[in-house]
Structure 1
Amino acid sequence: MWLQRFLVLLFSVVSFVVKSEVNVPNLISVPVLIAEDVKLHLERLSKQTNILTLNDFSNLPQGRDLVDVILLNQALHLGKCHCRLEYFDNSVYGRNIDLLNSGKFAMSADTLWLSDINAHPESLLASKAVINKGDYDVGLYTSKNNDKALKAQTTDDISRLTAISNRFWTADWHTINQLKPNKLAHIESFPNMKRLVKSEIADFTLLHFRVNENDLSYEEMLPIPNIKAVLWDSRHYAISTHFPNHQRIAKAINAGLKQLHQQNKIETAYQSVGINHPLTANWKVLNAN
């Protein structure tokens, strides 16, 4: 009798273990492209707090790109991806797309413009919108000492100024062309852009607003007051269709993004770092039409 009971118990335990193992999805590795400085900030932040439950984005050490990767982690977690993100350094926007096209990497931690993703329909899949079209406003940032630029208030004023941007940032490049500056130069390196604007070799570039309490300054630059522009495109996570499990990854991201939007968490997060911030809500949009 005791032997029969032991065998029944043993069978029950084995059955439970087998069923549990069957029901747990395999943990997949997801290689993600990320700018080196963003990765460093993410690593430091992760030691201080659980980024999967982070709700207050107001004191982040960096702006939109750090919010992007935090929301990516939260979306995958909410979407039950059961995956492990592995970060690989890459700081060049255009290079992100080339690397994703290769299929060696699953996605970019930095959201991309929909127009750039759609230009590669054979290799890139766009997630649901993270930032909707029309919801991304930017300042015309100039040197704090550039009086001529700081006094500009109309498109006629802008037509007398020089601008710089990166032509691979398609939405920025298109928007600056809409503003019709006197000259527009392509600069691929963002640090060089800042240096040229701060030294007044160029009058302005487009940047999303930096917010530190009620201060919109960024290093030694200020946005031209009372005017702004809108980047008329939406931002999405780009997933490589050449990467194994890309459908599973995309499904999890989209499920998570849906929940985050329903919680109003995405809009609040980006407002915290200056996008559509209440401080600039009443500023005139120069390219509204």
Structure 2
Amino acid sequence: MKTCVVIFLVLLANATTASEPLKIGITENLLNKYNTYLAGRSVYEIKEYDGNGARRSVIEVVLLLQALKAGGLNDPVEWVLQPNYARIKRSLQNGTITLSASSLWNYDIEELRQYCVASDAIVAEGEYQAGLFKLSTNPLTISNINDLPSLTAISVAAWIPDWNTLASLPLKKVIDANKWDTMIKLLIAERGDFILSSFKPTEDMGFTEGGYRFVPIKNIKVSLLGSRHFVISAQDTHHHEVLTTLNNGIKKLRAEGVINKAFTQAGFYNANVKGWQDLTQ
């Protein structure tokens, strides 16, 4: 049975619940994190983007809804739960969802060009830097690329930039975990040494999940090439209207400095790692 949650966005004075809901695909894990971050607040009231649970993936959902509002969306939104990133791509392709709550890499979008349209970039080329995250109790350090041949990374093969970046490094092995939750479980079980993740707005730039603390290995980072975009299914008869609305909203938020502010406060754009060694360069 398809699981969904409907929220009504009263975005314009003449909005009505008779409008067809805009179906947005989202994983249960991300929806839970998003709701934790909101903590009962309206997404449209958020002007400061740090706080408990702030991270790139969550802030993207916030920016998506704020951009739709800024562009003039007049429809209710229906969350449609998806098990993983790969299913979101299939659902966009077959039209069971109109939009993804998570942005997609431009590499993935190329595979969907026949079935989907992409928004303007929410993360532009060259803006995505990631840390090598380990369990906080793990004493592992990395001085340079020569320390990698004995190490095992955990990732998701469907995440092409992450997977290709790790494949380009001289690692012992890269384990395909299928989805984020499994990555975390495998790292806790010490099946691998690290995962890739964006930096967080905390003192140690780390995060807590499943009762465990994960922190970046100090002084080391990687750059993931590519840009990220929200994707709209062309199977939806109103996809051109949704695309125009979303792009107008993204342009407005970017011009007002909201996107830069949000990603900076969420730790994704992180000045603390500016001088760290980039293993991909």
Deviations 1:80-108 (A, max 9, x none): 12121111111400110001111121011
Q: Which residue of 1 aligns with 2:268?
A: 275
Structure 1 residues 50, 221: closer, same or farther in 2, change over 3 A?
Answer: closer
Q: Which residue of 1 aligns with 2:185?
A: 195
Q: Which residue of 2 aligns with 1:137?
A: 129
Does residue 1:242 correspond to 2:231, yes or no? Answer: no
- Equivalenced residues, count: 264
Q: Which residue of 1 aligns with 2:277?
A: 284
CA–CA distance in structure 2, aligned partners of residues 107 and 180 of structure 1:
37
Structure 1 residues 220, 125: closer, same or farther in 2, change over 3 A?
Answer: same
CA positional deviation for 1:198: 3.0
- After superposition, residues 80-91 of structure 1 pair within 5 angstroms as 80-91=72-83
User: Secondary structure, in 3 states, of the residue corresponding to 1:134?
Assistant: coil
CA positional deviation for 1:250: 0.2
Alignment-mate amino acid for residue 223 of structure 2: V
Alignment-mate amino acid for residue 208 of structure 1: S
Structure with larger Rg: 1
Does residue 1:167 correspond to 2:157, yes or no? Answer: yes
CA positional deviation for 1:194: 1.7
Q: Report the RMSD for the aligned CA atoms in angstroms.
A: 2.2
CA positional deviation for 1:41: 4.4
CA positional deviation for 1:43: 4.5
Does residue 1:204 correspond to 2:194, yes or no? Answer: yes
CA–CA distance in structure 1, aligned partners of residues 178 and 247 of structure 2:
31
Select the structure that is richer in helix.
Answer: 1
Q: Which residue of 2 aligns with 1:10?
A: none
Checking the alignment, whether the CA contact within 8 Å between 1:28 and 1:82 is kept in structure 2 is: no
Alignment-mate amino acid for residue 205 of structure 2: L
Q: Which residue of 1 aligns with 2:172?
A: 182
Structure 1 residues 194, 37: closer, same or farther in 2, change over 3 A?
Answer: closer
Unaligned runs of 5+ in 1: 1-19
User: Secondary structure, in 3 states, of the residue corresponding to 1:129?
Assistant: strand
CA positional deviation for 1:45: 5.6
Checking the alignment, whether the CA contact within 8 Å between 2:37 and 2:51 is kept in structure 1 is: no
Deviations 1:209-252 (A, max 9, x none): 1232x122333322110010011111110000111200000000
Report the TM-score when normalising by structure 1.
0.84
CA positional deviation for 1:60: 4.1
Checking the alignment, whether the CA contact within 8 Å between 1:81 and 1:248 is kept in structure 2 is: no
Deviations 1:98-124 (A, max 9, x none): 011111210111111111011111101
CA positional deviation for 1:36: 1.6
CA–CA distance in structure 1, aligned partners of residues 32 and 267 of structure 2:
21
CA–CA distance in structure 1, aligned partners of residues 116 and 65 of structure 2:
20
CA–CA distance in structure 2, aligned partners of residues 240 and 37 of structure 1:
22
Alignment-mate amino acid for residue 124 of structure 2: N
- After superposition, residues 250-265 of structure 1 pair within 5 angstroms as 250-265=243-258
User: Secondary structure, in 3 states, of the residue corresponding to 2:133?
Assistant: strand
- After superposition, residues 1-289 of structure 1 pair within 5 angstroms as 27-43=19-35, 48-147=40-139, 150-212=140-202, 214-218=203-207, 219-288=212-281
Report the TM-score when normalising by structure 2.
0.87
Alignment-mate amino acid for residue 37 of structure 1: N
User: Secondary structure, in 3 states, of the residue corresponding to 2:166?
Assistant: helix
Percent of residue pairs bearing the same amino acid type = 27
CA–CA distance in structure 2, aligned partners of residues 41 and 183 of structure 1:
30
Structure 1 residues 41, 216: closer, same or farther in 2, change over 3 A?
Answer: closer
User: Secondary structure, in 3 states, of the residue corresponding to 1:258?
Assistant: helix
